[in-house]
Amino acid sequence: MAPDEKRNYVKCTPTKRKALTIYKDKMHLTYDEILEQEEFQGTGISRDTLQRNYRAVKGNDGNCYLKAERPGRPKVMSKEDIEMAERLFDNDRAQDASDLQRRYFPHIPLRTVQDTLNKAGLIGFVEPKKPLLKPHHIDARLSFALQHQLWIDTVTFLKAHVFFSDEKKFKIHGSDGISQAHEYDKALLKGWKGDMEGMLLFSALYSATLTALIVESYKKLQLDPADLTTSLLTTMISLQLASSNGTTMTVGLPDTSFKPMTSSLICNMLWFLSLTLALTCSLLATFVQQWTRDFLHKTTMWPSPVVQARVLAFSYFGLRCFGLHTFVDVIPILLHISLFFFFAGLVAFLLPVNLPLTILMACVLFIFVLIYSALTLHPLLSLDTPYCTPLSNLFWRITNGFAVQKHGLSDDDLSLTKAMIEKSLHKSPDWDGRCMEFTMKSMDHDTELVPMLEAVFEAITSPQASGVRLQNFGIVAPLIQSSDPEKNMISHIQHFISASGSLTGDPQHQVCNMQLCLSTLNSFARLVIRHAVENIGSDYSQYPVFWFQCDLLELLSSLPSLPKGHLISTITAL
Identify whether residues 493 and 474 lie together within a single domain.
Answer: yes
Closest Cα partner for 528 from 486, 489, 484, 568?
489
Distance CA 184, CA 171 (A): 18
Residue ending a domain, among 73, 89, 114, is 73
pLDDT (average), residues 516-528: 78
pLDDT (average), residues 511-519: 77
The pLDDT > 90 percentage for the chain reads 8
* Three-state secondary-structure class, residue 184: helix
Whether residue 152 is predicted with pLDDT greater than 50 in this model: the reply is no
pLDDT band of residue 175 (cuts 50, 70, 90) is very low
Residue 245 falls inside a structural domain: yes
Residue 324 falls inside a structural domain: no
Residue 525 falls inside a structural domain: yes
Residue 475 falls inside a structural domain: yes
**Which one-letter amino acid corresponds to residue 178?**
I
Identify whether residues 50 and 95 lie together within a single domain.
Answer: no
pLDDT band of residue 112 (cuts 50, 70, 90) is confident
Whether residue 159 is predicted with pLDDT greater than 50 in this model: the reply is no
Distance CA 506, CA 540 (A): 47
Whether residue 336 is predicted with pLDDT greater than 70 in this model: the reply is yes
What phi, psi does 27 have (nearest 5°)? -100, -10
**What is the 3-class SS of 323-370, one letter each residue?**
CHHHHHHHHHHHHHHHHHHHHHHHHHHHCCCCHHHHHHHHHHHHHHHH
Residue-level pLDDT at 359: 92
**Which one-letter amino acid corresponds to residue 364?**
V
Identify whether residues 34 and 121 lie together within a single domain.
Answer: no
Of 248-262, 377-391, 549-563, which one has max mean pLDDT? 377-391
N-term to C-term CA, the chain: 99
Identify whether residues 69 and 83 lie together within a single domain.
Answer: no
Structural domain that includes position 454 = 428-573
Residue-level pLDDT at 326: 85
Identify whether residues 40 and 87 lie together within a single domain.
Answer: no
Mean pLDDT computed over every residue of the chain = 74
User: Following DSSP, what letter does each residue of 94-129 receive, concatenated?
Assistant: --SHHHHHHHT-TTS-HHHHHHHHHHTT-GGGS-PP
The pLDDT > 70 percentage for the chain reads 64
Residue ending a domain, among 56, 90, 125, is 125
Residue 130 falls inside a structural domain: no
Identify whether residues 69 and 114 lie together within a single domain.
Answer: no
Residue-level pLDDT at 165: 38
Distance CA 253, CA 34 (A): 97
Residue-level pLDDT at 569: 63
Lowest mean pLDDT among 114-123, 299-308, 331-340: 299-308
Whether residue 2 is predicted with pLDDT greater than 60 in this model: the reply is no
Whether residue 369 is predicted with pLDDT greater than 70 in this model: the reply is yes
Residue 397 falls inside a structural domain: no
Lowest mean pLDDT among 357-366, 474-483, 498-507, 536-545: 536-545
Identify whether residues 117 and 237 lie together within a single domain.
Answer: no
pLDDT (average), residues 464-468: 67
Distance CA 454, CA 129 (A): 38
Residue 519 falls inside a structural domain: yes
Neighbour-count burial for 505-539, b at 16+ CB within 10 Å, e otherwise: eeeeeeeebbebbbbbbbbbbbbbebbeeeeeeee
Neighbour-count burial for 393-406, b at 16+ CB within 10 Å, e otherwise: bbbbeeebeebbee
Identify whether residues 64 and 83 lie together within a single domain.
Answer: no
Identify whether residues 60 and 118 lie together within a single domain.
Answer: no
pLDDT band of residue 276 (cuts 50, 70, 90) is very high
Query: Count of domains in the chain?
Result: 4
Whether residue 558 is predicted with pLDDT greater than 50 in this model: the reply is yes
What phi, psi does 444 have (nearest 5°)? -90, -20
Residue 332 falls inside a structural domain: no
305 contact partners, CB below 8 Å, separation of at least 6:
128, 131, 163, 171, 172, 173, 178
pLDDT (average), residues 185-205: 84
* Three-state secondary-structure class, residue 467: coil
Residue-level pLDDT at 279: 92
Residue-level pLDDT at 367: 93
pLDDT (average), residues 423-448: 67
pLDDT band of residue 62 (cuts 50, 70, 90) is low
Distance CA 157, CA 422 (A): 18
Identify whether residues 66 and 103 lie together within a single domain.
Answer: no
Identify whether residues 457 and 562 lie together within a single domain.
Answer: yes
pLDDT band of residue 166 (cuts 50, 70, 90) is very low
Whether residue 171 is predicted with pLDDT greater than 70 in this model: the reply is no
Residue-level pLDDT at 275: 93
Residue ending a domain, among 41, 58, 73, is 73
What phi, psi does 461 have (nearest 5°)? -95, 135
Residue-level pLDDT at 280: 92
Identify whether residues 110 and 231 lie together within a single domain.
Answer: no
